[in-house]
Amino acid sequence: MLTGFKKFILKGNVIDLAVAVIIGAAFSSVVDALVKSVMMPLISLLVGEPNFDNFLAFGDVRFGVLLTAVVNFLLVAAAIYFVIVVPMNHMIERRNRKLGINQDVKEEAAEDPQIALLTEIRDALRSGSVK
């Protein structure tokens, strides 16, 4: 039983997942600081309020709290996209160019010649030119 558990834990994907979770948790403070200290103050300059909590408040029902949460979520998603995803994609493209890996070649290789021939036969049968 312990041997199976050891094999499971030492698999690469489990360790990669653990590292990703730890790094994600550590990076969340950076994203929170960016959203709370930079982006939300910029929005409050435009709107005049630091958050939307009092917007559309009817007694205990406050739709503004939901609006604030949605705006925060969108800001976090935008921060992650523009700070992490876009630069990472550029680095991957640069690395692929340096290594001579071409995405167009992969897409052309995906087209199997047998599938192309079968597609031509199907099209010919549909058009009625083959009897």
Question: Would you list the DSSP string of 1-63?
Answer: -HHHHHHHHTSHHHHHHHHHHHHHHHHHHHHHHHIIIIIHHHHHHHHSSS-STTTTEETTEEH
Global model pTM greater than 0.75: no
| pLDDT per residue as tens digits for the range 26-84 | 888 888 888 888 888 888 888 887 778 888 888 888 888 888 888 888 888 888 888 88
pLDDT beyond 70 at 104:
no
Out of 10-14, 26-30, 34-38, 91-95, give the one with best mean pLDDT: 91-95
